[in-house]
Amino acid sequence: MRQDLAVTVDAVIFLEENNALYLLVIKRKNQPFQGHWALPGGFLEEDELLQTGCLRELEEETGLQLQQLEKVGIYDAINRDPRGRTLSVAFTAKLQERKQICANDDADEAKWILLKDIEEMAFDHHQIIQDAIKKLQIAL
């Protein structure tokens, strides 16, 4: 039996600056969740590895270029994406120095937001953020 399954990647990028923790977020340009805050990410291309796809999406949506990310986990809740069955692999990194960012591609806006100020996020991104905090052993 053939299954229609999309694969996406999400980037959870933290910045530690002046004893405060920031998260890189984008405001979605398109549906679903148009106008909502989300993690940078998107669909994996047919000919790329997961981490490569995540680095590409991160750069496309925020202009941020990184070399390496650490895997957070796989998110496969049946209804996590209203467009259909989607499996997402999330990656993370923690920066010690603020990098210039610029919204592009599927992002209307990109910004560093204080982690404590994060409210509602698109999809299951709040859970992904919590898991990345645990993975990096970030003390809040």
pLDDT digits 0-9 by tens, 110-131: 999 999 999 889 999 999 999 9
- Told to judge if 119 belongs to the known catalytic residues of this protein, a careful annotator would answer no
Catalytic pick among 17, 97, 109, 119: 109
What pTM was computed for the model? 0.95
pLDDT tens digits along 22-77: 999 999 999 999 999 999 999 999 999 999 999 999 999 999 999 999 999 999 99
Q: Three-state SS for 62? A: helix
Fold exhibited by the domain 6-135: Nucleoside Triphosphate Pyrophosphohydrolase (3.90.79)
Rounded distance between C-alpha atoms, residue 12 and residue 74, angstroms: 13
